[in-house]
Amino acid sequence: MSDFFVTIRDLYFSRGDREIFSGVSLDIPEGKVTAIMGPSGTGKTTLLRLMGGQLRPDRGSVIVQGLEIPSLKRKALYQARRRMGMLFQSGALLTDLSVFENIAFPIREHYSFPESIIRDIVLLKLELVGLRGARDLMPSELSGGMARRVALARAIVLDPTLMMYDEPFTGLDPVTLGTIVSLIKELNCSLGMTSVVVSHDIHETFSIADHVCILSEGKLAAQGSPEELMNSESEFVQQFVQGKPDGPIPFHFPAEPLEQDILGKDMSGKSAL
């Protein structure tokens, strides 16, 4: 049996004329925390959406727990998503529902459990994130950190085997940041999940990740344990993990020369108009 929970092979995906992935192949080990990292615009969140079936690749294979996600019909995909949890960067709580009802929503959507069972499940998940006492609050009454934890409780309420986090550390105060970092690792171990974390935060991500994949220019640029990447001899990897301003990773998005763009001239001085 494979030790990989997710297997991606020869993945191609474009948005209009812009190619996001051009032959990406990577493996996500089962039961571990894997980080997907890379410069802005490299398709990290897009990769999560391809794994969850929200997007379909132009070409290539996305296998999650033995299922070829792009080839699944609607009903089969819906069933597969019961085993997937997603923590969105914004939290994406339903503003007209209380904390309790936000977390109960996926249960009501997928199962016909008695109210007593739903109540017990919701309270247990809220206890895991330290917010059982906030069950009757509305999203507007929550701080940013509390909202993120409620969203996390909702994401794990169906006991997913695959948990995906989209920039979970963005915009958090230091205390809440430390709490979320600890929760990701603890929940992965206690609930027996496989976790995929998309993040730009090197320190926090490397502190909990077992495996790291770095994307760049449509391909897998590097992978390994945090220790292996920190000690990598690659100039690209060192620029990324140390946040160096100079190196192979460009600051500017690809564009025509500034003079040509502003003056409408090519580099020989002739008018390009």
Name the pLDDT band for 232 (thresholds 50, 70, 90).
confident
Residue 178 located in a structural domain: no
The Cα diameter of the chain in Å comes to 77
Entry pTM: 0.83
Residue 271 predicted with pLDDT over 90: no
Contacts of residue 185, defined as CB under 8 A and 6 or more positions apart, other chains included, come to: 33, 208
The span from the CA of 120 to the CA of 113, in Å, is 11
Q: Where are the beta strands (DSSP E) in 147-236?
A: 162-166, 194-198, 211-216, 219-224
Domain with 219 in it: what CATH number? 3.40.50.300
Residue 245 located in a structural domain: yes
Helix (H), strand (E) counts: the chain = 10, 10
Are the C-beta atoms of residues 163 and 193 closer than 8 Å to each other? yes
Contacts of residue 222, defined as CB under 8 A and 6 or more positions apart, other chains included, come to: 213, 214, 229, 232, 234, 236, 237
Contacts of residue 155, defined as CB under 8 A and 6 or more positions apart, other chains included, come to: 85, 86, 87, 163
Q: Pick the more confident residue, 63 or 262.
A: 63
The span from the CA of 226 to the CA of 233, in Å, is 14
Q: What is the mean pLDDT of residues 80-98?
A: 86
Name the pLDDT band for 253 (thresholds 50, 70, 90).
low
Domains contained in the chain, number: 1
User: What pLDDT does residue 165 have?
Assistant: 93
Residue 155 located in a structural domain: no
How buried is 109 (Cβ within 10 angstroms: 0-12 exposed, 13-18 middle, 19+ buried)? exposed
Residue 72 located in a structural domain: yes
pLDDT above 70: percentage of residues in the chain: 91
Residue 145 located in a structural domain: no
User: What pLDDT does residue 1 have?
Assistant: 46
Domain extent, residue 37, equals 1-76+193-273
Taking only the tens place, the pLDDT of each residue in 161-210 is: 999 999 888 878 888 888 888 889 988 988 889 999 998 888 899 999 99
Taking only the tens place, the pLDDT of each residue in 171-180 is: 788 888 888 8
The span from the CA of 263 to the CA of 272, in Å, is 9
Q: Considering only CA atoms, which of 129, 105, 131, 145 is closest in space to residue 191?
A: 129
Residue 153 located in a structural domain: no
Q: What is the mean pLDDT of residues 66-92?
A: 87
Q: Which runs of consecutive H residues, i.e. helices, occur in 41-114?
A: 44-52, 74-81, 99-110
Residue 269 predicted with pLDDT over 60: no
User: What pLDDT does residue 270 have?
Assistant: 58
Q: What is the mean pLDDT of residues 34-50?
A: 89
Residue 197 located in a structural domain: yes
Q: Considering only CA atoms, which of 80, 87, 83, 92 is closest in space to residue 129?
A: 87
Name the pLDDT band for 266 (thresholds 50, 70, 90).
low
Q: In the predicted model, what is the mean pLDDT of the chain? A: 86
The span from the CA of 33 to the CA of 196, in Å, is 6
Residue 85 located in a structural domain: no
